[in-house]
Structure 1
Amino acid sequence: MLHDENTVVIDRPAEDVYDFLVDGLNGPEWRTGIRSIALRSGTIGAVGTEYAQELAGPGGRSVAGDYRITRADRPSRIEFEVIAGPLRPKGTYTLDAEGGGTSVTFALDAQPSGFMRLMSGTIRKTMAAEVGALGALKQVLES
């Protein structure tokens, strides 16, 4: 099992941060690896909502990264699972009020199998970049 996580404190109320994160269409504002994203089914913020997502992959190719919201507890927790693409990680955003702001922890877990086990080093780097993007989220939400 591969795991990575990162935490930042954002100077915004938890409800604002949650509402921004749970709407996957906001992803390109802070996640540079998204080439395209669209709401495939469901309602923004609801469990079961699915997003069709194309991500920048190895060698400049696009890879599918479609995902589904599996838990949505406003304003404290969002969970999702990737449902298309070569790797199917699960992710969690945990939000906690901290003073007038919000502590946000983004965690990713992946279990590579088959050929993907040979790419563990690349997967680790990609996961670190994804959770590291919380710094960009902070900049977007505080500007």
Structure 2
Amino acid sequence: MKKVHTRVVTAKPAEEVYAYLVDFTNQADWRFDVLTSELVSGDVGVVGAKYSQLVRVGRDEQQSEVELVEAKSPDEVAFRTLDTGMITVSGAWHLRPAGEGTEVICDVAIETRGPLRLIEPMMGPQLRKIARKYEIALSEKLNP
């Protein structure tokens, strides 16, 4: 299992940041690899809500299903992918006070299965690069 950690600070209040993060349709606005994200079952902000995302993986596009697994306003939003492929991703955004604004800490775990397990030890640099792109994009979205 590989883990990735990112951090963003914004002047926005935690409640506003939480509302943005808990609605996974917003991920298409800041995650470079999410082409579309739509709610397919449940309600926005309610644990169990499921989203269908069209995700770019290299040159390919594939459907991915993501579930909201924890929603503690305004402190935490957690998710996991429900895909049956070779990669499962789970993680959480933790929101903390930062001066007059909010610090957003994201911890993600990537589990591999099958043949990908053989190359998992070498995935670290690429995962950190992707995480850094997410960190920059989220910061730009929260700090226009």
Question: Would you call these one fold, judging by a TM-score over 0.5?
Answer: yes
Q: Number of residues paired by the alignment?
A: 142
Q: Are 1:138 and 2:139 an aligned pair?
A: yes
Q: Gapped runs of 5+ residues in structure 1? A: none
CA-CA distance at 1:124 after TM superposition: 5.7
**Cα distance in 2 for residues equivalent to 1:64 and 1:86:** 14
Letter in 2 for 1:78: V
Secondary structure in structure 2 of the residue aligned to 1:88: strand
- 1:114-133 alignment runs, 5 A limit: 114-120=114-120, 121-122=122-123, 125-126=126-127, 128-130=129-131, 132-133=133-134
Letter in 1 for 2:13: P
CA-CA distance at 1:130 after TM superposition: 3.6
CA contact (8 A) 1:87 1:110 kept: yes
Secondary structure in structure 1 of the residue aligned to 2:27: helix
Identity %: 27
CA contact (8 A) 2:30 2:134 kept: yes
Letter in 2 for 1:133: Y
Corresponding residue of 1:80: 79
Q: Gapped runs of 5+ residues in structure 2? A: none
CA contact (8 A) 1:37 1:52 kept: yes
Secondary structure in structure 1 of the residue aligned to 2:45: coil
CA-CA distance at 1:89 after TM superposition: 1.2
**Cα distance in 2 for residues equivalent to 1:138 and 1:16:** 14
**Cα distance in 2 for residues equivalent to 1:35 and 1:73:** 27
Corresponding residue of 1:62: 61
Letter in 2 for 1:64: Q
Letter in 1 for 2:6: N
**Cα distance in 1 for residues equivalent to 2:126 and 2:47:** 29
The answer to which structure has the higher strand fraction is 2
